[in-house]
Amino acid sequence: MENIDALIKSAQHGDRDAMDRILHLYSNFVKNIVRYYSMFLSREDREDLYMEGLIGLQRAVLNYNKSKAKRFEDFAYISVKNAIFDYLRKRKRYIKNTDYKVRESSEDFKEELILFKEDIESFKEKLSPYEKKVLDLYLKGYKIADIAKVVEKNYKSVDNALQRIKKHLREFFNS
């Protein structure tokens, strides 16, 4: 693997090729984060979320300071996740046209994150053990064929489980 610190330094000094190389190297990293938050979104919304994730990655590259953050990946993860959250907040405000309160402090964000984690845990309680296993593997980036091998089921069984999970997600978050 290329020296990421050298690429980041070059990108921070305006080297577009270095920035492009970083975006290419970390595209799957961004896709995996997006996959976690976009399960119940349309294909177009997933693509938008991916683009927002890439913008978050660019911000991470431009703002990364090795003396303040130990690993670039940790810093990038937070930046990509925040870009995705911001997009989802804007989308929710636009679609529902409500007075959605945007976080004003890190305490608000922590509270939102705790509530989100509680929602996810509450959602997972509605799944069968098999569906939980499929969901966990899917969120880790496994493809359906790979999940089928791990859980020792056929492709269609895993695909059906994912469809049930998506249906449960829509029902859970729309209620």
CATH architecture, domain defined by 4-96: Orthogonal Bundle (1.10)
Model pLDDT for residues 68-87, shown as the tens digit of each residue: 877 888 888 888 888 888 88
Look-up: residue for tokens 């070059």? 10
The per-residue DSSP string of the chain comes to ---HHHHHHHHHTT-HHHHHHHHHHTHHHHHHHHHHH-TTS-HHHHHHHHHHHHHHHHHHHHH--TTT-S-HHHHHHHHHHHHHHHHHHHHHHHHH---PPPP-SHHHHHHHHHHHHHHHHHHHHTS-HHHHHHHHHHHTT--HHHHHHHHT--HHHHHHHHHHHHHHHHHHHH-
CATH class name, domain 107-174: mainly alpha
Per-residue model confidence (pLDDT) at position 114: 60
In the chain, which stretches have pLDDT less than 70? 1-2, 39-42, 91-119, 172-175
Per-residue model confidence (pLDDT) at position 98: 39
Q: Where are the domains of the chain?
A: 4-96, 107-174
Mean pLDDT, the chain, rounded, equals 79
* Residue at 55: amino acid letter: I
